[in-house]
Chain A
Amino acid sequence: MKILRILLLIAAGLPLASWGQISGVVKGLDNGKEIPLPGANVIWEGSETGTTTAKDGSYTIEKVKGANTLKVSYIGYQSQSKIVISRTGTMNFTLEPSGYELEGAEVVGKVDATTVDVTKAGLSYKIDDKELRKAACCNLSESFETNASVDVSFTDAVTGTRQIEMLGLSGKYALIQRENIPFARGLNSNTGLTYIPGPFVESIQLTKGLSSVLNGYEGITGQINVEFYKPETAPKLYLNAFGNQGSRTELNVMSAIPVNKRLSTAILAHASAISIPRDGNDDGFADIPNGSQLNFTNRWHFKNPDRGWEGQIGVSAVQSKKVGGQMDYITEDNPGNSLWGFESDGRRAELFGKNGYVFKDKPFRSIGIIYSLTYQDHNGRFGERFHYGEQQNAYLNTIYQDIIGSTIHKYRTGISFQLDQITDRLSKPQLEDPLYLQKRTEAVPGAYFEYTLEPNPRFTLVAGIRGDYNNYFEELYITPRLNVRYSLSDHTTFRLGGGRGQRTANVMLENLNLLASSRTMDFTALGISPEVAWNTGASLVQDMRIIDRKLTLTVDAFYTWFDNKVVADLDVDPNTAYFISSTGSRSLSVLSQIDYELSSNFEVRLAYKYLNAKDQFAEELRQSYLIPEHRAFVNLAYQTEQRWKFDLTLNWFGSKRLPDTETSPDEFKRDPQSPGFFTVNAQINKTFKNGLEIFAGVDNLLDFRQDDPIVNADNPYSPYFDTNFTWGPVFGRNVYVGLYYTLPDKEN
């Protein structure tokens, strides 16, 4: 604590000196112009002494003993701190517009950066748009290519559905949010990732392990929060086009329009299609379904800096259609019922909004409110079985944030309400009764309290608890969570965390991939209680210098244990999928990652992940399906002075366990373990000065492919037909090209 020492010196050395005043002017950058900011908060960090700027942006503040960091914050701008050791003098501030807007979890985080962002106490990564452009294609499910914490794979060989894996568990156990509003949950846990076009995304915050109780009780393995481009900061016009060898074409358009000083709006639109079916492995089935998708988002952002108000409201809609299955089913106009076909027709509409109020003179005190209303439905056809899913959701969360005495003790508290009306129905047209039907209305009012202790910059403790009453289970659930961070030095940080997570399973609609088989669905061993898990984790982040270049080593370990989990058992009988509720499924995940800057424009990332994911199946505890025990990854990124970027990713996946086929006839038997394999992706980007960036790349450069992803592909309407043995790429080498265009700002 050098600074303390200095202050002690000052205090001891000059006991008679009177303490002076610092004055100055606070300005903000508005479209490149400096404007004075009246009513901005000026505060000595760690003290209660603060003031606000006058009409012309000027301020005068008494110098406080023991305080040496002057912090200025203003709604809509990034707060700024300056270290000031002088007793008298001038200190002017010029604030930059905030890169991100009001967020529920961080209503004050932006206004007052000392407020602990829970991500500080938990292990979190930020994936920004530069990182996202390293893997240009296409939607959120493909955005984690250069991140070793999250893996994405196809659930089966027909539907083209991608699922993420985090800590050895499927994506539905992670909390996936769009700007702190729950996004990929329930019906959307299957489709949610593909419903977010990559070019809409400004950044992703990825937090491993349990996140804040503020966000609800659901996320167990981690939190993925996606930030779209904002009306206040997005370019006036932004275009993205993409096309690949597999006939996938995409177009994204974005436009931000400032209406006046206080109001701005942005429109984001997406259209994509896959129009030509391809059967690279000659099994009669299209490798990926044909289809099209349309997205539209419009939102309005308003702020009233004089009064401390900020808010936004928006609408979002998605429509997606897919046709897959046997090649003839796709190409024929009237395919009839003898061919095995897959169809998917999904729609989603959402109204969302946020409001925040920051108290004048007290930047640490604020109120925030987040709400959304969504309707989503999905019609699916899987051969002769039809699935209908529908979800209506209302969500409300409130956040009150304040300090206790000083900024060492902070708290956030609020009430929340979540209402879900869900229909999950599986049927066959020739049968009168559905094969499976769940219709439920689940209303969950809840309340939470989270305390943050930050006695010094090296230590943070976040302890949270929430209670939620669930009318469907008629029970009150208590969710405790704790995260601790301790920095031994500026180069070594330890983190520890743990707590409880819970979610309500939607049995059929979360396992649609299993319908792409001739398996009978058996629900007799299914209990009626929510899935409950405990998660605990520890991590170490170590920075060091090697040959004068920064190297960051991250090691983390997480253990998840289920009190109750819905497990689909495919081992007992190759023609049945048994859904069972069981206790004791667990997952251990250990990741070590090295980030090293070989030179100022050449970065290397090496990662190794060990996953030991086990599910409690009907008979015994066994390895989970399709989760590799070992996984490694190398990413090389090189950038030239002439704005060329080269990116190369090498992936290695170890052996994965496949469903048991011991009792199948010989021709339908599969090895119980898949072979390990490598994939290589490469991409080149070139940026031009006029706002144009072009890219070309290749996925699966080595052209490695799983030859036989479908069991009994020749007779899809007879027993043993199964597409859930997909352990590797179904697609071979795939070349793509595309461009980004950003209209340059005239002011600059």
Chain B
Amino acid sequence: MKTISKISLLTLFMALLSLTPASAQSETDTTLIVNGVCQMCKRTIENAAYIKGVSKAEWDVENKVLTLTYNTGETSLEEINTSINESGYDTEINTASEDAYNSLHKCCHYRDPEVVKDHQ
């Protein structure tokens, strides 16, 4: 968990940098790489990312990048990351649990090289 807190710190640091002094709002933009293969994955990932405080979550199936806008006062990247993991998807930070992954539809089994090949 050390790594995660480090990353959160880093993110926080980056978030702070992105704060504009004129704004009292703590809206921040960031990206997170989430593994997935298809449009069904996209729906699940984006739904999982839309937790309270998130105003934008858009995942690109091509480059696996999830673009996020969220309010740092209401949530954190760590929370969003956990929510995505719980929905069954690995992020660059952490893996999803076995059970969550197995509950995904077969065509979404992005860890399987064969499935990835089928989607290309």
Contact = CB atoms under 8 A, between A and B. Distances in A.
Interface of A: 2, 5-6, 9-10, 13-14, 16-18, 20, 22, 69, 81-92, 490
Interface stretch (B16-24, B41-49, B59-67): B59-67
A17 B7 contact: yes
B106 to A, nearest CB: 15
B31 A84 contact: no
A250 B111 CA distance: 46
A2 B90 contact: no
Interface residues of B, number: 28
Contacts of A83: 35, 110-113, 116
A91 B33 contact: no
B4 interface: yes
B35 to A, nearest CB: 5
4 shortest A-B CB distances, which residue pairs? A89-B95, A82-B111, A86-B95, A89-B94
A333 to B, nearest CB: 63
Given A22-B95, A86-B91, A86-B92, 20 more contacts: A2-B63, A6-B64, A9-B33, A9-B63, A17-B6, A81-B113, A82-B113, A83-B112, A84-B111, A85-B91, A86-B35, A86-B93, A86-B94, A86-B95, A88-B3, A88-B93, A88-B94, A88-B95, A89-B94, A90-B98
B10 A17 contact: yes
Contacts of A2: 62-64
A45 to B, nearest CB: 9
Contacts of B111: 82-84, 91
A89 B90 CA distance: 9
Contact of B31 (A13, A85, A87, A90): A13
A125 B23 CA distance: 65
Interface in B56-95: 62-65, 90-95
B63 A90 contact: no
B55 interface: no
A641 B90 CA distance: 36
B93 A87 contact: yes
A17 B94 CA distance: 13
A22 to B, nearest CB: 7
Nearest to A90: B95
Nearest to B98: A92
A6 B33 contact: yes
Contacts of B3: 17-18, 20, 87-88
Given A82-B112, A85-B35, A91 B6 contact: no
Contacts of B105: none
Nearest to B91: A86
Contacts of B62: 2
B113 A87 contact: no
B6 A88 contact: no
A627 to B, nearest CB: 39
Contact of A87 (B35, B92, B96): B92
Nearest to B116: A83
Contacts of B39: none
A409 to B, nearest CB: 22
A84 B92 CA distance: 9
B33 A88 contact: no
Nearest to A8: B63
23 contacts: A2-B62, A2-B63, A6-B63, A13-B31, A18-B3, A18-B6, A20-B3, A69-B113, A81-B113, A82-B112, A83-B35, A84-B90, A84-B95, A85-B33, A85-B64, A85-B92, A86-B35, A86-B90, A86-B93, A86-B94, A88-B93, A89-B94, A89-B96
A10 to B, nearest CB: 5
A126 B119 CA distance: 23
A68 to B, nearest CB: 9
B101 to A, nearest CB: 10
B36 to A, nearest CB: 10
B97 A90 contact: yes
B116 to A, nearest CB: 6
A126 to B, nearest CB: 16
